[in-house]
Structure 1
Amino acid sequence: MSHPPEPAPDRAAHLLARTGEVLRPALGLYLDLHAHPEPSGLEARTADRFGRRLAAAGCEVTHGVGGHGVVGVLRNGDGPAVWLRAELDALPLRERTGLPYASRTDAMHACGHDLHLAAAAAAADLLARLSGRWRGTLVVVGQPAEETLTGAEAMLRDGLYERFAAPAVVLAQHAAPLPAGTVAHAPEGTPMAAAGAVLDVVLHGRGGHAATPHLAVDPVLAAASLVTRLHSVVARESAPADRVTLTVGTLHAGTAANVIPDRAGLGIAVRAAGETALDRALDTVRRVIAAESAASGAPEEPEVNVTSRAAALWCDPHTTDALRRAHAALLGPGRVLSWPGSPATEDFPLFGDAGSAVHGRSGIPLAYWMLGVADPAPGTVPHPNHSPFFAPHIAGALRPAVATLAAAALDRLGAGPDGAAGDDAARDGEAPVVAGPG
């Protein structure tokens, strides 16, 4: 039995109401993953738990794609293949939130990837229940090693797009310190995230005794001078429009206070608005490193290795406009914000044209939005991502996280026999969603 299409606000209200059916298992998965985080490349348990939830939603699940990558597939007749991507990994950071479900290890979900996974699995569950509203193939990806910007490429090199249904669009969302219950899309002409690179640097010295520093070359002093000098790259050698940021996130040297070591290592993150600006900044960074090493009288040239690099994240404007309207119908226009861009980096661009050299395809549209996770109470100051105090306001963020992802997928999938009516297969006697590979 078919029904006449509902007006958009009624469809949105129906979707929000049906989201309540999948919140309990979503919350259980979130709490479990938050308490048991795993850093990049070590996400075996996380992948197992995520895969189990996808299987419970009716997906055919494949593990071990590009490392610990997980892929779940729901087929529901002829139509486009819409991909949802979430990240498996946590950060090597000790949590200080004091939450009863806080991590007790030296890893922490300080960037919301646990919420992304819970929302993606719940969205698949919800879409399976709403099978009368859509036709096509839903592909849900749990990607490893996003924080090291290596996981997307590993999955793609492992034949991701050849082994599963070729994507008509790839969608993702990311937790941000915006009020829970809001989302933010970037306007056309603005990248969601910056281009970026991570460098590992080794400064060489000549070890010696603290009592005879004149007989040694101190790489710690050179490293300290380098840290100070590097920040002038942004202040004096980058145009404001380039939006360059530079962070020396790690500095390691020495084993004892009375020993001058023979090397110092630094980890440097550089971000910029685009590839050209990033290349300019990296050239300057290399020049400064070489100059500081030479000024210290180092016995060897410094080692500078780019360990990862990411392109700027540009969303497809047509898809973004459509999803902005879908999210406005779902949450209300006042809760759909404009995102000014961010110097954060992502390897998500590789799923589109930035990864064409890896996956051999072009013209795959990407859409990505920021999901508010901060306590919306007035006067509350949110802790930013990557802080040891970062904690999504889960009571206010989980339902929107699931619903906005499901609404976006529905907007891109083909219409089902019930069109926009929002009636599920069980109520209308539709055939159930069939799991299977693309």
Structure 2
Amino acid sequence: MIRTDMDALSVSEATGWPFASRVRSTNQEGQPVGVMHACGHDTHMAAWVATLRRLALARPDWSGTLVMIAQPAEELGRGAGMMLDAGLFRRFSKPDVVLAFHNSAALPAGVIGVTEGYALANVDSVDIRVKGKGGHGAYPHTTLDPIVLGARIVLALQTLVSREINPLEPAVVTVGSFTAGTKRNVIPDEALLQLTVRSYKPKIRQQLLEGMARIARGEAIASGVPEDRPPEGTITKESTPATYNTPELVQRFRELMVSRVGKDRILAVDPAMAGEDFGRYRLSDPSIRSLIFFVGGVPAEQWQQHSSTGASLPSLHSAEWGPDYETVIETASDSLTTLALDLFNRPAPASRS
């Protein structure tokens, strides 16, 4: 199965290209926003179509079942789960291998990056609602201040990674939003913390989430909040599992691409703490082999300037991200086609216990 994601982002394009997106829409809050493929999913779709055409032309040269899927809602972390829930692997063939690629804003155009094992992180979006007792700011002794309690929770959460997780295990806990109150002299009834929590291994993910709940509950009790009114923790729908690249598949892909493009254009890259719901396909059945690789999109002139002067590069999700799309599409479609043909014409590996 070869998958492309196809959703865009609520970003107003600033690449200056004559064909830059001028689309306007509304976001989930009903606010007017610009729309662009700031994560490069348009190059993913184009390479996906090119791969399909190449494999169709080569049909006499391979034997097997090819499933091509165009997936929505990757940016929300929901699309893969929605497709699986709708019966993707029941209504169509369950694949032995799932493949995808992502353009990269950190590699020069045409360079292929691949990670063996965990490549992208578990991402849990967590809301912690801190309950207190509001009142007048001049009489704090008559209240249970949720802002102070929330601040204590924020500080205590920092010890999860620094003091409870093995230093050799990657983990991130970030409080990205802290909202409470409406007026300077009014202590509110509650505060809302919004967090992103990232890890690779299921055990570490569980340890982080359980630790967050324990810390929030313990700080609330220490602040005098009744035990029957603990802070409420909710994992939002934007959570995604870690993406794992099957090691033997990575090794075969490297061999193929070294022989095709040369060793200078195929690099081992470090795992990233970014999220990608492509990991759900393998998670649904661990016997499925999985690979997502990266194709550099930074135009040659920008990369040269970056290398010589240290000039910053637009990142993914930036309004200025404009990949060398022709090189990305050509490299990605050639890579996907080459690997697919090899897999179709190679005996399946022995089953694993």
TM-score where L is the length of structure 1: 0.66
> Match of 1:144?
72
Distance in 1 (alpha carbons) for counterparts of 2:136 and 2:244: 53
Alpha-carbon contact 1:182-1:331 (below 8 Å) kept = no
> Match of 2:268?
338
Aligned AA for 1:199?
V
Task: Map Cα deviations across residues 322-377 of structure 1 (whole Å, 9 max, x no partner).
Answer: 2222222333221100022222233323212x213xxxxx5221122122122342
Unmatched 5+ stretches in structure 1: 1-82, 357-361, 416-438
Alpha-carbon contact 2:12-2:34 (below 8 Å) kept = yes
- After superposing the two structures, state which structure 1 stretch, 127-136 or 113-122, moved more: 127-136
> Match of 1:85?
3
Task: Say if 1:251 and 1:108 are closer, same or farther in 2 by CA, change over 3 A.
Answer: farther
Provide the secondary structure at the position in 1 that maps to 2:195.
Answer: strand
- Is the counterpart of residue 201 in structure 1 residue 122 in structure 2? no
Task: Say if 1:269 and 1:230 are closer, same or farther in 2 by CA, change over 3 A.
Answer: same
How do 1:168-187 residues align onto structure 2 when only pairs under 5 Å count? Answer: 168-176=96-104, 177-187=106-116
Task: Map Cα deviations across residues 180-238 of structure 1 (whole Å, 9 max, x no partner).
Answer: 21111223xx3112334222211112233445444433323333343333233223332
Distance in 2 (alpha carbons) for counterparts of 1:203 and 1:89: 34
Aligned AA for 1:403?
D
How do 1:7-406 residues align onto structure 2 when only pairs under 5 Å count? Answer: 83-91=1-9, 93-95=10-12, 97-100=14-17, 101-102=20-21, 104=24, 105=33, 108-176=36-104, 177-187=106-116, 190-298=117-225, 300-307=229-236, 309-352=239-282, 354-356=283-285, 363-376=287-300, 377-380=303-306, 381-406=312-337
Alpha-carbon contact 1:323-1:411 (below 8 Å) kept = no
Provide the secondary structure at the position in 2 that maps to 1:127.
Answer: helix
Residue 84 of structure 1, CA deviation: 0.6
Alpha-carbon contact 1:198-1:307 (below 8 Å) kept = yes
Aligned AA for 2:314?
H
- Is the counterpart of residue 408 in structure 1 residue 339 in structure 2? yes
Distance in 2 (alpha carbons) for counterparts of 1:121 and 1:85: 11
Residue 303 of structure 1, CA deviation: 0.5
Unmatched 5+ stretches in structure 2: 25-32, 307-311, 347-353
Task: Say if 1:122 and 1:207 are closer, same or farther in 2 by CA, change over 3 A.
Answer: farther
Provide the secondary structure at the position in 1 that maps to 2:206.
Answer: helix
Residue 294 of structure 1, CA deviation: 3.2
Distance in 1 (alpha carbons) for counterparts of 2:221 and 2:41: 42
TM-score where L is the length of structure 2: 0.80
Residue 289 of structure 1, CA deviation: 1.8
Aligned CA RMSD, in angstroms, stands at 2.7
Aligned AA for 2:47?
A
Provide the secondary structure at the position in 2 that maps to 1:94.
Answer: coil
Residue 310 of structure 1, CA deviation: 4.1
Alpha-carbon contact 2:13-2:36 (below 8 Å) kept = no
Task: Say if 1:203 and 1:348 are closer, same or farther in 2 by CA, change over 3 A.
Answer: same
Aligned residues: 324
Task: Map Cα deviations across residues 298-333 of structure 1 (whole Å, 9 max, x no partner).
Answer: 463111122355443222223222222222233322
Distance in 2 (alpha carbons) for counterparts of 1:174 and 1:261: 44
Task: Say if 1:348 and 1:207 are closer, same or farther in 2 by CA, change over 3 A.
Answer: same
Task: Say if 1:115 and 1:207 are closer, same or farther in 2 by CA, change over 3 A.
Answer: farther
Percent of aligned positions that are identical? 34
Alpha-carbon contact 2:244-2:290 (below 8 Å) kept = yes
Aligned AA for 2:329?
L
